[in-house]
């Protein structure tokens, strides 16, 4: 090799344990986006895994992407039938599942509220991260300002917003007593309604045969408020753009 030639880059063999961890995590996250994968998670992890996912989605800003609505619907379905093996009894009990997941949703929102009170101003002031951005915080703040305490109930049914609004309530220094009341009302409205919908629809043969399509429909309906909100922002931006581009009029 000549003196001016560049050496080829040195490659390091990655131990199997190092490579397996991120791959396993990625596979698990992809399962959450697939109805059949969610069924596998419910069947293998049971109620504890469901509670952990609901707690993370409602309690941690980085958990906004987790599938709360579809997870609750499928949990309700698997309270009435074992989708993976219909000959076996359902893996979940409807009452225990509802009570446990209401508790997880209440605890998650409470943690999110406390984080907003403690570190909210620092998160608000820092530059955008890959997941938590100023735009998402501002959207949640606008929704909270518009609907007040009802936002804690309404956003239970709106993905992304239900993760950020409790945090904004903490930043806004809402009283913990008032927050706890509306937090509980929202959780009781959200969790049992989707579990009961899944429980009763899960007994219908057509739903059992097309569960993936039904779950995708649940996801699509839950995302409609997000889509309408984004479309409204884009429309307002187009309306404001010509006036901003025109600039000040000619001088005298």
pLDDT on residue 250: 45
Does residue 86 lie within any of the structural domains?
yes
Residues of the chain with pLDDT below 50 are 2, 4-20, 243-252
Does residue 248 lie within any of the structural domains?
no
pTM: 0.74
CA nearest neighbour of 163 among 96, 215, 226, 76:
226
> For the chain, what is the largest distance between any 2 Cα atoms, rounded to a whole number of angstroms?
86
pLDDT on residue 197: 94
Does residue 246 lie within any of the structural domains?
no
Does residue 139 lie within any of the structural domains?
yes
Tell me the residue range of the domain where 156 lies.
34-236
Does residue 104 lie within any of the structural domains?
yes
pLDDT on residue 226: 63
Does residue 110 lie within any of the structural domains?
yes
Provide the number of structural domains found in the chain.
1
Backbone angles phi, psi at 202, to 5 degrees: -65, -15
pLDDT in tens, 10-24: 434 334 444 445 566
Does residue 124 lie within any of the structural domains?
yes
Does residue 224 lie within any of the structural domains?
yes
Residue pointed to by tokens 């889509």: 227
DSSP secondary structure of 134-146? HHHHHHHHHHHHH
């Amino acid at each position: 090799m000549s003196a001016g030639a560049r050496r080829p880059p040195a490659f390091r063999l990655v131990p199997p344990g190092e490579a397996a961890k991120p791959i396993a995590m990625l596979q698990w996250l992809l399962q959450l986006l697939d109805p059949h994968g969610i069924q596998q998670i419910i069947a293998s992890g049971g109620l504890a895994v469901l509670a952990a996912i609901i707690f993370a989605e409602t309690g941690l800003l980085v958990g906004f992407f987790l599938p709360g609505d579809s997870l609750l619907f499928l949990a309700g379905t698997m309270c009435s039938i074992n989708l993976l093996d219909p000959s076996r009894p359902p893996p979940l009990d409807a009452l225990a599942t509802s009570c446990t997941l209401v508790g997880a949703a209440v605890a998650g929102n409470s943690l999110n509220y406390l984080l907003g009170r403690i570190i909210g101003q620092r998160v608000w002031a820092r530059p955008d991260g890959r997941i938590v951005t100023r735009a998402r915080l501002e959207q949640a703040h606008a929704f909270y300002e518009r609907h007040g305490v009802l936002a804690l109930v309404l956003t239970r049914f709106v993905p992304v917003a239900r993760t950020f609004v409790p945090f904004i309530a903490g930043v806004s220094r809402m009283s913990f007593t008032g927050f706890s009341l509306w937090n509980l009302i929202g959780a009781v409205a959200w969790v049992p309604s989707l579990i009961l919908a899944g429980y009763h629809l899960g007994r219908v043969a057509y739903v059992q045969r097309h569960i993936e399509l039904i779950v995708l429909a649940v996801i699509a309906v839950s995302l409609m408020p997000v889509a309408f909100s984004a479309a409204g922002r884009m429309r307002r931006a187009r309306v404001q753009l010509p006036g901003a581009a025109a600039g000040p009029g000619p001088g005298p």
